[in-house]
Amino acid sequence: MLLDRLLGAIAPGWALRRARQRLAWRNVQALYEGARSTRRTRNWLAPGTGPNAELQPALATLRARSRDLMRNNPFAAAGLELVVSYQVGAGIVPRSATGDEALDRQVDDLWARWSPLADATGRTDLYGLQALLARTRAEAGEALALLLPVPAAEARRRGLPVPLALQVIEPDHLDETHDSTGRGPLIRQGIELDDRGRPVAYHLREEHPGESGGLTARPGGALRRYGAEQVLHLFRQDRPGQLRGVPDLAPVMTRLRSLDELEDAALEREKIQACLAAFVTSPAPAAAGPLEGADEAGEPVKTFYPGMIERLMPGEGVEFTQPSGVAGFSDLARHQLHAIATGWGLTYDLLTGDLSGANYSSLRAGRLAFKRRLERLQWHVLIPGMCERIWQAFIQAAVLSGALDPRAGGYPAQWAPPVFEMVDPLKDAMAVREQLRMGLLSWGQAVAQMGWEPRRQAEEIAAWNAVHDDLGLILDSDPRRTAGGGAAQDPRVNSAIEIAATGAATGK
């Protein structure tokens, strides 16, 4: 307030007493303990900044520290690989869902021919790009990909059935300090926005700022404007209006760093404690006792060796150090790793591989909570922000190039994330069977949960059933021929199949 500033300049003591009295009055009014200013909360800094004001000065440091931990901390590196493996795995696979079986097969075949060639750099396929985007998002907080139209001549040369390619770049290209300062479009942290806050364009650096000065650096690292339809910006939005993403490790960075330092200190202490030291007290002159000798240069050395038996001189004594070990380190490290796993959204056993004390019930309970969080990220971030964007760009490029015909209802897709591994496959399979029998789950939904395309799965089952029937094979796994207990569903039908396959009825 203006009055407080004037009092501070004219009468600092009076202003200080006024501020203390105002703070005391606020404490009286505060009904929530967490809102009071007490001895315990005196150093609790909690500014009421907006989502972008709090991120802008911290993004570069958060990214750099997250990458450093991924490079050098084994738990961070293992956790990142685990997160990407569960989120994307071998790929989040689409299935065309127009309702026209022949058209769906055509679209799926076109996708199957384009996806291995989708990477603009030619280093991986589309599902490798999915993994790279998911990894970059988790590590740096956000990931960018350019949806690049490919000229017809280049598409023919590369064998692209659809003239579209993807190039993944790091979020460092999107400068968080680039804001509009005067007239013109509204730009916040490198993102050009319309009146409703929707991205219109992205202002990207031509060169990674960390590569400037290198052999491949472009002069000046100039900014280039890309329309929002060309840029895939993947991040997890935690607050309304948030424009940029935060690394997944942000809540646990300090704990991981402190755990590293604690382990280093414990290792150094163990090395020191492992050093056996002896102190000889003797009235005799140096190098005169049996525990002392001289090396080839005549320098005195004091050594022990296995099986050594020596008689000490009168008055000599030997005292040894007593290693004490590092007490309590394991318990403290385990507590810290529990907190790190919780803050990262993992379970302790997944992060550390420590299964001591675990059983089926505890593992399943932990995995169910992890699965809920995983599904939320897949269906609220990865699929709408990455998979659907790529699919729509693919369909648009296919229609414009004539590979697909324009269609009033468009070309919707269904997505199948990687299957979530079962803790006990037999128990979980029995649960799925009961859900099918009760009508709580369709056969197609069950197959999709396993990561397969239901229509193709049914066709493959039918094809192999026909092969088995032609050969007269009746497998216990075929529910058409055998019941769950192993008895024949219809012995007469089974006999007819065997006779038809072996030719027994004709005497061959």
What's residue 507's pLDDT? 46
Q: Kindly report, residue by residue over 104-152, the tens digit of the pLDDT.
A: 999 999 999 999 999 999 999 999 999 999 999 999 999 999 999 999 9
Where does 109-217 show beta strands of DSSP type E?
142-149, 164-169, 186-188, 191-193, 199-205
What's residue 367's pLDDT? 87
Q: Which of 174, 172, 188, 173 has the alpha carbon at shortest distance from 140? A: 172
Ranges of each domain in the chain? 2-46, 58-76+107-251, 268-299+314-352
Give 482's contacts (C-beta < 8 A, 6+ positions apart). Answer: 474, 475, 476, 488, 489
Residue 174 CA to residue 204 CA, distance in Å, equals 5
* DSSP assigned state of 487: -
What's residue 395's pLDDT? 98
Q: Kindly report, residue by residue over 266-297, the tens digit of the pLDDT.
A: 888 877 777 767 776 777 666 555 555 555 56
Q: Tell whether the model's pLDDT for residue 300 goes beyond 60.
A: no
Are 160 and 166 contacting, i.e. CB atoms less than 8 angstroms apart? Answer: no
pTM: 0.79
Residue 508 CA to residue 505 CA, distance in Å, equals 8
What's residue 404's pLDDT? 97
- Provide, rounded to the nearest whole percent, the portion of the chain with pLDDT above 70: 84
∠ CA 421-425-428, nearest 5°, is 95
Residue 263 CA to residue 329 CA, distance in Å, equals 8
Q: How confident is the model at residue 359 (pLDDT cuts 50, 70, 90)?
A: confident
What's residue 219's pLDDT? 45
